[in-house]
Structure 1
């Protein structure tokens, strides 16, 4: 492995660690503020964290000539609104689910979007290779061992995380369609702003927002906004210029493992033997889906 690839893999590993630990930060934040407040402030900080990169990277102010007509005049605005709305639902199900489930389980169930993307893509005319079907089977089997009880029911938190994974899959597919046509950094910042507005508007309606609560949740919110969004996103963009796609797929999948580890170290979350078997099967399914699809 050459030096550039090794450096890129190291940056991707740091990215996976940051994202994994973010699940713990999100759980800790729920001790002080509601899920919509947490997401609203977090994504607002994420947009601000990307702003210096946008200013440093001059780009065209108009894009998207091959987009639908209503996108063409303000493609970043409309693209950000669309992806931000889907992001809002994915982040909402994830954050509310974390009130009722562990950080490790939330990470593995959220990671199912890796399996769902090619499956949903079938309706868009994509073909799914054998690895995708094997991955889907392993992930479904893993979900059974991780979350389904002997009474064949899902806990409320795990169900919310599962619903959220469908929105994460949709988010990936929409980004895959928009990213080649719109400046990526501006699109990312626009979707974070849209998600922040939707989250804060919902928080004002459903949740009490207090200075005391925001102060108590300051560290988790700062981590979720600046580290998870700003720093990790930047590291990913830099690293994937040099990292082979197979390396990136494997290393970024470790986000789920780091979430389980940090949940155990910081929150004393312990997975049963049955749940650990589910995690192993789901992780194997994710790898198959990414590397063999």
Structure 2
């Protein structure tokens, strides 16, 4: 597969994820956030089963890994995923799809900063990216009386959980079977969401019928298809390139909110979005340069 085709697959995944913010908002007009997430991740779990069955007779892709390790990692990732997804879903009740996407994607900047606690090196470019993103966040979310809306605050706290989730997945990616990890994290998140929904929300057949299309989109397309597109696309695209393309979900969410939900952003909020996007892309461009430099050094070493 060519680099162009893989990049197009990643762009399609970003579009699906961006429009999922719209589907999540529409779905909650009929059912509660926990019920929506519970059914969504249950469908996502089912959508992974064909892939897992396809690979079940093939040698383990991670030598020395076993199902028990994948289950443990999946449950731990599912707990964090439940926290992040719940905060995101509840926050969407009180904020727009576009703003929620931009705030959520702060994880691109937060991940390297949180990496400090894991003794990861943080470059000057990353700090500059963080300041750009922070300035953008201020313009996007903070009101004239220096307050932040409830929905935006939930999305911001959720971004911290998404950052921890990414670091956790990075830790286990080369240690366990990622498909099994994904399956068990979806199952864990789905069960916790459904359990909470039965305790706190009223689920009716009318509500489920009204939210059917958003649920199907969020479960099958956002979780199942987009995940597969990401896996296939990243086989032929460097991680730094992939991250830049996938961060475009924020743009698709804003466009989708504008076209489908009639959401509007003011001039100050648009400037905030632009600064946040600049910070996100600057971080990934730095990663791209670092990856290129490492590849060049390895090539020189092999040539020598």
Q: Give the alignment's TM-score, normalised by structure 2.
A: 0.91
Alignment of 1:70-219 (within 5 A): 74-219=68-213
Q: Deviations over 1:118-152 (max 9, x none)?
A: 11110011011122111100000000000001111
- Matching of residue 16 in structure 1 with residue 10 in structure 2: no
Q: Deviations over 1:90-123 (max 9, x none)?
A: 0000000000000000000000011111111100
Contact 2:99–2:140 (Cα < 8 Å) also in 1: yes
- Provide the rounded CA distance (Å) in 2 between the counterparts of 1:166 and 1:221: 25
More moved, 241-250 vs 47-56: 241-250
| SS, match of residue 46 in structure 1 | helix
More moved, 56-65 vs 200-209: 56-65
Q: 1:64 to 1:96 in 2, by over 3 A?
A: farther
Give the structure 2 partner of residue 69 of structure 1.
Answer: none
Q: Which runs of 5+ in 2 are unaligned?
A: 288-304
- Provide the rounded CA distance (Å) in 1 between the counterparts of 2:282 and 2:124: 9
Contact 1:62–1:73 (Cα < 8 Å) also in 2: no
Give the structure 1 partner of residue 273 of structure 2.
Answer: 279
- Provide the rounded CA distance (Å) in 1 between the counterparts of 2:97 and 2:107: 17
Q: 1:282 to 1:198 in 2, by over 3 A?
A: same
- Matching of residue 225 in structure 1 with residue 212 in structure 2: no
- Provide the rounded CA distance (Å) in 2 between the counterparts of 1:191 and 1:82: 7
Contact 1:88–1:198 (Cα < 8 Å) also in 2: yes
- Provide the rounded CA distance (Å) in 1 between the counterparts of 2:3 and 2:71: 35
Q: Which runs of 5+ in 1 are unaligned?
A: 67-71
Write out the 4+ residue segments of structure 1 that deviate beyond 2 Å after TM superposition.
Answer: 58-66, 244-247
Give the structure 2 partner of residue 53 of structure 1.
Answer: 51
Q: Structure 1 residue 154: deviation in Å?
A: 0.5
Give the structure 2 partner of residue 255 of structure 1.
Answer: 249
2:39 is aligned, of 38, 41, 45, to 41
| SS, match of residue 2 in structure 2 | helix
More moved, 10-19 vs 93-102: 10-19
Q: 1:180 to 1:16 in 2, by over 3 A?
A: same
Q: Deviations over 1:248-276 (max 9, x none)?
A: 12211110000000000000001000000
Q: Structure 1 residue 247: deviation in Å?
A: 2.8
Q: 1:273 to 1:62 in 2, by over 3 A?
A: closer
Q: Structure 1 residue 64: deviation in Å?
A: 8.4
Contact 2:9–2:230 (Cα < 8 Å) also in 1: yes
